[in-house]
Structure 1
């Protein structure tokens, strides 16, 4: 279960991904929240401005049906070799397109670590063993936002399952639900978690559906035809 990031590009929002649910949303400014006496929400707005995604490694472990799981921020000196090995798995390389020497993976990860915090690469550790690679990113500040009706504070996820033994067992869906719950619990201004797996990657799309995401549209990205998947905060308890 894996997916590549949207490559830089521009383009109009496809007509089939717009809708009333994306055009009738009203967001209160921090100034108005202060006038209304909503101090916690105003404080959350200030906090979000200073940390675009935050520190997923500090979000704590969660108990899932697959075991105890947590996100750990990537440290290249410690993690580059294992992530590069996963990227060279043909099943992963078909969608991430990062096969090659460790320098290829390093060139993908290091700019995120040196950036402004809008994309955070993480290892997924299940039962004490690193077994997946994640990118938690601000989708509304990503090139992806050119291709769908983005909302402020949308958070996106990219995922690959590293070990073959962890694929095809439903673990991807379990962990996607856990991570999207972590995002919604720790990013109070985020109203929804989004993803854009390759349409050809049927196991990935199925995992998102089992995790409570809904399929919204097909999206033409510069490097792939993607399935726009969304998990809404408002409906998280019902899916």
Structure 2
């Protein structure tokens, strides 16, 4: 799964990913780290196996142990969230329907500066297909507000991602990446509103998940502020490929306090 960025309420870009885009690195001939190559410690896998009855472990073709079944609990069926900006829901991406729109967003200079996916449709298509052809650890989605697709999201299993090597991951930790598609939706507090709504959706629809995580660049203070406004807390500074990141966590146990 790629490491990507989020656009904040200030109109500047703030990241929720872990550094350089894996697809771009692979195309350039460098060694790119992908979620399918992740090897988790045996103790962690044992705790995962005991976390829920459906998490008996199987091996993928790459040899990575993963739980069988839907790793993200049917995002397409999560339903709508009521927000101050209107009804919002996540719609899993279909390339034949959504590729032109997402490609256009990726070619916005403010987005391209962090996502590294500017270029023709083939670039965005490769990025999306990498996730869609995987085992379901990362699901690309459109964010639809009041019937209008206006943002792009990646909901992913942080505990099964290379990110898990950089912090004390827990079974079913769920990560989010976000971009707002148009300039008109930036700089007016919408990013924080949607971050809170999606984090609440994750916690409501994924009962085994106790935490939602994100990893904006530590230098991007507007992004960190947006996550704090959305009910995330700053956990620690972590080193990730290409950046120092602020590990932001939304805890189920604290969701009504932050």
The normalised TM-score by structure 1 is 0.82
Would you say 1:58 and 2:58 are equivalent positions?
no
Asked if the contact 1:120–1:137 (Cα under 8 Å) also holds between the matched residues in 2, the reply is yes
Is residue 81 of structure 2 the alignment partner of residue 69 of structure 1?
no
| 8 Å CA contact retained: 2:87, 2:145 | yes
**Post-superposition shift, 1:49?**
4.5
* Residues 43-82 of structure 1 deviation map (CA, whole Å, 9 limit, x = unaligned): x657x74211132121001110011101000011111111
Distance 1:204 1:108 in 2: 23
Contact 1:68 1:126 in 2 (8 A): yes
1:29 has 2:50 as partner:
yes
Asked if the contact 1:131–1:162 (Cα under 8 Å) also holds between the matched residues in 2, the reply is: yes
2:17 is aligned with 1:5: yes
1:213 aligns to 2:232 (yes or no): yes
Partner of 2:130: 111
Shift of 1:93: 1.1
Q: Would the alpha carbon gap of residues 99 and 4 (structure 1) be closer, same or farther in structure 2, given more than 3 Å must change?
A: farther
What does residue range 1-239 of structure 1 map to in structure 2 within 5 Å?
A: 1=7, 2-3=14-15, 5-6=17-18, 8=33, 29=50, 42=53, 49-239=68-258
Output the CA distance in 1 between the equivalents of 2:115 and 2:15.
6
Secondary structure, in 3 states, of the residue corresponding to 1:104? helix
TM-superposition CA deviations, 1:104-154 (whole Å, max 9, x none): 111111111111111000000001111100000000100111111111110
Deviates more, 1:221-230 or 1:156-165: 221-230
Residues in 2 aligned to 1:96 and 1:27: alpha-carbon distance in whole angstroms: 31
Q: Distance in 1 between matches of 2:106 and 2:222?
A: 17
For 2:109 and 2:49, locate their aligned partners in 1 and report how far apart those are by CA, in whole Å. 47
CA RMSD of aligned residues (A): 2.1
- Change in 2 beyond 3 A, CA 1:90/1:160: same
Give ranges in structure 1 of 5+ residues lacking alignment. 11-25, 31-40
